[in-house]
Amino acid sequence: MHRLLTALKRGFYERIGWKRLGVAASLLIIAFAITTLVRTLKGVDTGVILVALTEKSPARIALAALCVIGAFCTLTFYDFFALRTIGKTHVPYRIAALSSFTSYSIGHNIGATVFTGGAIRFRIYSDYGLSAIDVAKICFISGLTFWLGNTFVLGIGMAMHPWAASAMDLLPPAINRLIAFGCIGGIAIYFIWLVIGKNRRELGQHGWKVMLPSARLTLVQILIGVVDLGFCALAIYLLMPVQPGIDFISLAVVFILATLLGFASHAPGSIGVFDAAMLVALPQFGREELLATLVIYRVLYFLIPFSIAISIMGTRELWLNVVLPWQERRRLNEACPAAAAVPQPVKSRKPQG
């Protein structure tokens, strides 16, 4: 039996591997989501969607936009917290905010956030002496903040409203409540481990080691994730149709599950996956009205920040690679005439014999 398991393990790593398995899972999620979305959108009247868009309250859209701004402001603390955790205290907050905003905004829209976001982070942090390993640690701590916040909110939400997730995961409310208790229990066990094993919080080996935050700082870490999710959930709650009503906790549960599915798919902007999950989980709303909500949310949370992030990175690269070198050449040219004005020694010529 042991030989069989060893052979299967070796065959898995040689023929498949976790990377290929992850790609296959992502493609499977995207294909299933697109199929579901196409089937759900059959018979949808685009004219009704346009009418629903025009009927959205400008005040509610403005409040949702403020919530999105609050979410991205909170998002900047993902990197700032990670930098302080790994001891890179010389990197100022403004650089952490720049890196966090641009990496998440561009990464979420392009897809494969781990790679695209990591590349953007390295481009910014390398100017402050951070290595690729340092950036990998930042990505790890930031990801831990994201998952802790999601797990905590999802656990509390599903424990209070387990039926909210049933339309999406097709599980009975009792099973969803058990999953919720499992999420909360997992975080509790993690806290106990941090308190008991305070001297064993270091993960990694062979030059890649990261010290996990203490139990007290983990509370701050969870708070960052909760506030971020709270702003996002409140933004889409403000954009939801007035009738039929839905409570905030139930919508938050659906929103987080849809977000996690979109994140797992690595699809650009979670397109198709997030939308299909929301449409499936909220069948009580008219499809046209719900699509209008999703369109506005995408504009506020994806398109506008993506455009701003691209503009910021483009301006930064233009400044670093064009403007600064041009200014340096100009200073050198201005210094050249002064250097040329200095009399040069004249070589004496020997008399001809």
Match 């309250």 to its residue by tokens.
Answer: 57
CB contact at 8 A, 306 and 286: no
In a domain, 78, yes or no: yes
pLDDT digits (tens, 9 = 90+) for 287-325: 888 888 888 898 899 888 888 888 888 888 787 777 667
3-state secondary structure of 197: coil
- Give the span between the Cα atoms of 236 and 32, in whole angstroms: 24
In this predicted model, which residue has the larger pLDDT, 121 or 242? 121
- Whether omega for the bond prior to residue 244 falls within 30 degrees of 0, making it cis, is yes
Average pLDDT of the chain to the nearest whole number = 80
Number of domains comprising the chain: 1
- pLDDT for the residue 4: 58
Q: What DSSP string runs through 142-194?
A: HHHHHHHHHHHHHHHHHHH-GGGGHHHH---HHHHHHHHHHHHHHHHHHHHHH
Q: What percent of the chain has pLDDT over 70?
A: 75
The token pair that represents 37 in the structure block:
């979305």
Instruction: Provide the residue range defining the domain that includes 169.
Output: 29-38+46-321
Q: How confident is the model at residue 243 (pLDDT cuts 50, 70, 90)?
A: confident
pLDDT digits (tens, 9 = 90+) for 255-283: 999 888 877 776 676 777 788 888 888 88
In this predicted model, which residue has the larger pLDDT, 32 or 150? 150
Q: How confident is the model at residue 342 (pLDDT cuts 50, 70, 90)?
A: very low
In a domain, 272, yes or no: yes
In a domain, 79, yes or no: yes
Q: What DSSP string runs through 166-178?
A: HHHH---HHHHHH
In a domain, 337, yes or no: no
Answer whether 0.75 is exceeded by the pTM.
yes
- pLDDT for the residue 156: 93
- Average confidence (pLDDT) over 26-49: 57
The token pair that represents 161 in the structure block:
């409203």
In a domain, 12, yes or no: no
**b/e string for 32-67 if b means 16 or more Cβ within 10 A?**
ebbebbeebeeeeeeeebeebbeebeeebbeebbeb
Question: Residue 158: is its pLDDT beyond 50?
Answer: yes
- pLDDT for the residue 145: 92
In a domain, 336, yes or no: no
Question: Residue 352: is its pLDDT beyond 90?
Answer: no
In a domain, 211, yes or no: yes
Q: Which residues contact 304 (CB under 8 A, 6 or more apart)?
A: none
- Give the span between the Cα atoms of 244 and 251, in whole angstroms: 13
3-state secondary structure of 89: coil
In a domain, 112, yes or no: yes
